[in-house]
Amino acid sequence: MARPPRRRDAPAPRLDASGDAPVSALPGVGPKVAAKLAARGLETLQDLWLHLPLRYEDRTRITAIADLRPGQPAQVEARVEAVERSFRYRPMLRVAVGDDSRGTLVLRFFHFGKAQVAQFVPGRRILCYGEVRPGQHGLEMVHPSYRMLADEADAAPRDRLDPVYPAIEGLGPATVAKLVGEALARLPPADTLELLPAGTRESLGLPTLREALLTAHRPPPDADLALFAAGRHPAQRRLALEELLAHHLSLRRQRIALREHGAMPVRPAGKLAAALCKRLPFPLTGAQQRVLDEVARDMARPEPMLRLVQGDVGSGKTVVAALAAANAVEAGRQVALMAPTELLAEQHFNNFRAWLEPLGLRVAWLAGKVTGKARAAALDDIAHGRAQVVVGTHALMQEKVAFAALALAIVDEQHRFGVHQRLALRDKGLSGSQVPHQLVMTATPIPRTLAMSAYADLDVSVIDEMPPGRTPVTTVAVSGERRAEVVERIRAACAEGRQAYWVCTLIEDSEEVEAQAAQTTFEQLGEALPGLPLGLLHGRMKPAEKQAVMARFKAGETKLLVATTVIEVGVDVPNASLMIIENAERLGLAQLHQLRGRVGRGAAASSCVLMYKPPLSALARERLEVMRATTDGFVIAEKDLELRGPGELLGTRQTGLASFRVADLARDADLLPAVHRAADGLLAADPGLAGRVVARWVGGAARFAGA
Ligand code: ADP
Ligand code: MG
């Protein structure tokens, strides 16, 4: 039966129309179920399509009991032979089942109801699935999933693998699987669903979106489950490709939209910056000068600057920011500098004050702990333009903070902030249609391809030269068994007037436990090093306490600072020349590099001791070796990408990107060149289609695109 051809002037079908339908369109989804789904962010059919299985169960085969192997999941078809209930220690139900292979298997239950017990009548047939393990009387399955069989046909094995979905609170696994199945049954035909140009996916040998979704939810029996577990199956890669493309496009569109706003061109004579340079105790490095020129050129234009300055720890980004600030102030404008922690913000505040106040500028301070009259006064100074430069934390983004004429927003350590926070600061400067210039600084060196995706909305400058006179940090890896020698080393360094850090690390993601460990280490080191003034710094301390501890260390009153990884970012004490990192094997390369960057900031030869707890895994050994071999952040970043396996920590957290549903920037980095090509093509040829790709994956975040 041929369908009538579509009239040429008929409106094109709306793509994704069915995917946008609310979950309540599915049978069995009333307000209660919908609310439970919504609590997991699942609101539309498409959200269910993208609710991917964690793993799979193979019910396509039936294994004879005699062939079962402990430790392996299997499906068995058998007859109930005997049933035994006991209550001796706790309720327990044991059901012995057997099949034609003359094997016997015990199904064991600790939670069971009356009706369940009544089902197990000797002689009845049962189909069960579970992991086999050795028991007291031969092999057993504990709480297998099972089904009583009515007739022969009933046991027909599945033809696809069964998905196991991430749990949704309040909904049983069977319900979740059924709902996803219903949503998938409503998948539109491949050509309606598809948004990617055929060339993009074909060149990578990847399936259509429809095929990818169906495979990812119900793989064929011969699917390579190891590939799935590693996130490298073509079906997953197809999804990751589109998701990466969507995020990349979203950032590119934000950039395009932002560029449509004007910005105040900043074209000062450069007197203030020159005066500041003259007061600095050092000349700028060539790289600092080059980046400063790039920034000044951007700021002179009537569109907003969107620039990321990447520079390894200690490369001198702060002074570049201060010079850019001086330019904006000379042009009669205001500058905001935002840092992710109070510690870091305060350090910037002190630097900026020392540099800019002698030139007659007023630098205001705004952080969460600034309250009452002080806060009101700061807000007033900012609103009336009396404070030309404002330094602070997230507090800068609060609604009450209004600027008189913000022309430059500087954000330090970008990866700690999300894109959205940066945009909020940008909005502070909105006056008419103008937005402030944006300067983002990060010490996280990331490989070029990753940077192109993570910072697709920014131009990138790199300070690729260290200030002169620094001796590179020598790094050694030492077993924790040699702790006494390490303590001796601290004593020797401090006796020479130097200072040291001791960083305690833990696996637990708990500030409290970490703080406790630091406290214990602090006490032990205090005993081991009598007479040496020690400081303690951890995340559970109040900001004022932290600042006092840092001030004493910076002033040289304390010689050894015992700290958690809170000191990772930005802390600058040039006289500290020894860094001890405990349990270094637990940290990723990026974090080790950040920590090591706290030393080697002065003229004295510095060293970093990576203390580890043997035995080292092969991966940990390789990481420590990389740290020993190089201090170049970019080399380390490339290595990090190469070594990072599944289960390693870093990834998106480092980039400030929204989190992904399927993709992983590091794991899927090889897809990025194709993503960038496809993005260029789409933006040039079909911006509307680009918008649909973004809407499908990025959703809420894309709202910023139009802002
Ligand atoms: P980062 O890039 O890690 O933020 P900082 O801006 O904190 O680095 O600079 C690290 C140290 O180097 C500071 O003490 C700073 O005063 C100093 N510094 C910056 N530029 C130079 C330079 N051109 N020559 C010598 N020292 C410099
Ligand atoms: Mg810095």
Domains of the chain by residue range: 61-157, 271-463, 473-630
d(CA 665, CA 455): 12
Q: Read off the pLDDT of residues 48-77 as tens digits, 9 standing for 90 and up.
A: 999 999 999 999 999 999 999 999 999 999
d(CA 136, CA 138): 6
- Of ligand 1's atoms, which has the minimum distance to the CA of residue 601? 11
The rounded Å distance from CA 570 to ligand 1 centre is 11
Output DSSP code: residue 11.
Answer: P
Indicate which residue's Cα is closest to atom 26 of ligand 1: 467
- Of ligand 1's atoms, which has the minimum distance to the CA of residue 288? 23
Q: Which regions in the chain score pLDDT beneath 70?
A: 1-18, 152-153, 399, 414-433, 445, 449, 507-509, 568-570, 644-659, 699-707
Burial of 365-394, coded b for 16+ CB within 10 Å and e otherwise, reads bbbeebeeeebeebbebbeeeebbbbbbbb
Closest-approaching ligand to the CA atom of 315: 1
Closest-approaching ligand to the CA atom of 354: 1
pLDDT of the residue at 7: 40
- Of ligand 1's atoms, which has the minimum distance to the CA of residue 572? 7
**Degrees, nearest 5: CA angle 57-21-161:** 10
Give the phi and the psi of residue 473 in degrees, each rounded to 5.
Answer: -75, 130
Can you identify the CATH homologous superfamily of domain 473-630?
A: P-loop containing nucleotide triphosphate hydrolases (3.40.50.300)
Closest-approaching ligand to the CA atom of 317: 1
Closest CA to 364 of 345, 624, 372: 345
- Of ligand 1's atoms, which has the minimum distance to the CA of residue 463? 2
Closest CA to 620 of 470, 507, 474, 460: 507
Closest-approaching ligand to the CA atom of 468: 1
Indicate which residue's Cα is closest to atom 24 of ligand 1: 467
HSE-up (13 A, CA, CB side) for residue 497: 5
- Of ligand 1's atoms, which has the minimum distance to the CA of residue 319? 6
Closest-approaching ligand to the CA atom of 322: 1
Name the residue of 278, 279, 282 to mutate for ligand 1: max ligand atoms within 8 A of Cβ: 282
| Same fold: 61-157 with 271-463 | no
Ligand 1 pocket, CB under 6 A = 282, 284-285, 288, 311, 313-319, 443, 467, 572, 574, 601
Structure token digits, residue 7: 């009239």
d(CA 622, CA 184): 44
Name the residue of 319, 348, 466, 471 to mutate for ligand 1: max ligand atoms within 8 A of Cβ: 319
The rounded Å distance from CA 450 to ligand 1 centre is 26
Contact of 428 with 382, CB cutoff 8 Å: no
The rounded Å distance from CA 571 to ligand 2 centre is 8
CATH 2.40.10.120 holds for 271-463: no
Indicate which residue's Cα is closest to atom 23 of ligand 1: 284
Indicate which residue's Cα is closest to atom 18 of ligand 1: 316
- Of ligand 1's atoms, which has the minimum distance to the CA of residue 313? 3
- Of ligand 1's atoms, which has the minimum distance to the CA of residue 320? 6
The rounded Å distance from CA 664 to ligand 2 centre is 27
Indicate which residue's Cα is closest to atom 22 of ligand 1: 467
Contact of 105 with 57, CB cutoff 8 Å: no
Indicate which residue's Cα is closest to atom 15 of ligand 1: 316
Q: Per CATH, which fold does 61-157 belong to? A: OB fold (Dihydrolipoamide Acetyltransferase, E2P) (2.40.50)
Q: Is 146 helix (H, G, I), strand (E, B) or coil?
A: strand
The rounded Å distance from CA 422 to ligand 1 centre is 24
- Of ligand 1's atoms, which has the minimum distance to the CA of residue 317? 2
Closest CA to 91 of 118, 117, 109: 109
Contact of 456 with 579, CB cutoff 8 Å: no
The rounded Å distance from CA 476 to ligand 2 centre is 25
CA separation, residue 46 to residues 194, 213, 239 (Å): 13, 11, 13
The rounded Å distance from CA 704 to ligand 2 centre is 28
State the SS3 of 105-138: EEEEECCCCHHHHHHCCCCCEEEEEEEEEEECCE
Contact of 238 with 214, CB cutoff 8 Å: no
Indicate which residue's Cα is closest to atom 17 of ligand 1: 316
- Of ligand 1's atoms, which has the minimum distance to the CA of residue 412? 4
How many Å from the N-terminal Cα to the C-terminal Cα in the chain? 49
